[in-house]
Amino acid sequence: MFLRSKKKVVEAADAVEGSWVYRQAPFFMRPYLKLARLDRPIGSWLLLWPCWWSVTLAYSGEAVLALATWFALFAIGALAMRGAGCTYNDIIDRDFDGKVERTRTRPIPAGEVTVKQAWMFLTTLSLIGLAVLLTMNVFAVWLGLGSLVLVAAYPFMKRITGWPQAWLGLTFNWGALMGWAALKGELSTAPMVLYAGCLFWTLGYDTIYAHQDKEDDAIIGVKSTALTLGQHTRLWLTGFYAVFFLGLIYAGYLANLGIIYYVGIALAGLHLGAQIKRVNIDEPVVCLEVFRSNIAFGWIVFASLVAGQLTA
């Protein structure tokens, strides 16, 4: 299955500086770890946070060990499915990726992995994700399988709409429903409000991310909210994050969280405001830094949810 050539694996343009993938990982695994974006963990965090938030929101006295198990399972699932999603996306977009400065070093256009090998790797990661899913109740299993339609369609959205980030939001935040469903075996208004709010979070952070590629995207005919919103991006970001912020507040209210939750969410709101103020859509390095700051933002929301449950 694995590529065994001695060809040097080129470091991705937006990889974390000094990533272990290029220095400590076994050589034959590096193209696949790169394909799964393990040199850029921000995507795994962005997929994981709605899961962990939802699990915490759904907490109603479960044993600490049981709760920790859910956190671990969702972490494994997020790593596997983020890798599978990126691999699928790279297979579909391989012709586009070779024409964009930032993505031409991805494993398929760089010749580090063949399409056949990528499909095999995708299958392996998908089986890991399925194994995690099958530990859940029947309702959660069917709910999780329902997300596959969104995943399969996502790479094609940039070809047909100027709002592919909205579809990514529907896809990437499915965990906001899954965490609640895994614990409770059903859905209620609180996780659905969280899911809807997270859609606008993704619209914000992925629009920022998309501004890195807007010139190349315009040349090759790929669409994005960065191109759609253009110089009005900051105003739209304010609207996206405002809706998300209100969604966090309302979800906490529906889950009867304690007052400390709202103090924490106020701090999270300040973080979102700082993102809007700092972003410069004409500076790719700044866009990437602001995008990555959402890892810290996720910890603020998570800590707020924990505190809210402890003081409920």
Q: Specify if 10 maps to a domain.
A: no
What is the C-alpha to C-alpha distance for residues 128 and 40, in angstroms, rounded to an integer?
20
Q: Specify if 1 maps to a domain.
A: no
Q: Specify if 228 maps to a domain.
A: yes
At 297 the pLDDT is 98
- Residue 24 DSSP SS3: coil
pLDDT at 123 over 60: yes
Mean pLDDT for 223-251 is 97
Q: Give the CATH number, domain containing residue 130.
A: 1.10.357.140
Report long-range pairs for 25-32 (Cβ below 8 Å, ≥24 apart): 28/2, 28/3, 28/4, 29/2, 31/3, 31/107, 31/112, 31/113, 32/2, 32/107, 32/113, 32/121
Q: How does residue 34 score in pLDDT terms, banded at 50, 70 and 90?
A: very high
- Per the structure, the count of domains in the chain is 1
Query: pLDDT exceeding 70 applies to what percent of the chain?
Result: 98
pLDDT at 12 over 80: no
Q: Specify if 12 maps to a domain.
A: no
> CB–CB of 122/88 below 8 Å?
yes
pLDDT tens per residue across span 90-117: 999 888 877 777 778 888 988 899 999 9
What is the C-alpha to C-alpha distance for residues 290 and 272, in angstroms, rounded to an integer?
10
> CB–CB of 208/278 below 8 Å?
no
- Residue 63 DSSP SS3: coil
Q: Which domain holds residue 41?
A: 20-310
pLDDT tens per residue across span 127-158: 999 999 999 999 999 999 999 999 999 999 99
Q: What is the pTM of this model?
A: 0.93
Q: Specify if 116 maps to a domain.
A: yes
pLDDT at 5 over 60: no
Q: Specify if 8 maps to a domain.
A: no
- Residue whose pair of structure tokens reads 């530990």 in the numeric block: 135
At 7 the pLDDT is 58
Mean pLDDT for 158-178 is 96
Q: How many C-alpha atoms does 149 have within 13 Å on its Cβ side? A: 4
Whole-number mean pLDDT of the chain?
93
Q: Specify if 98 maps to a domain.
A: yes
Residue 112 DSSP symbol: S
Torsion region of 83: left, alpha or beta (phi above 0 gives left; psi -120 to 50 gives alpha): alpha
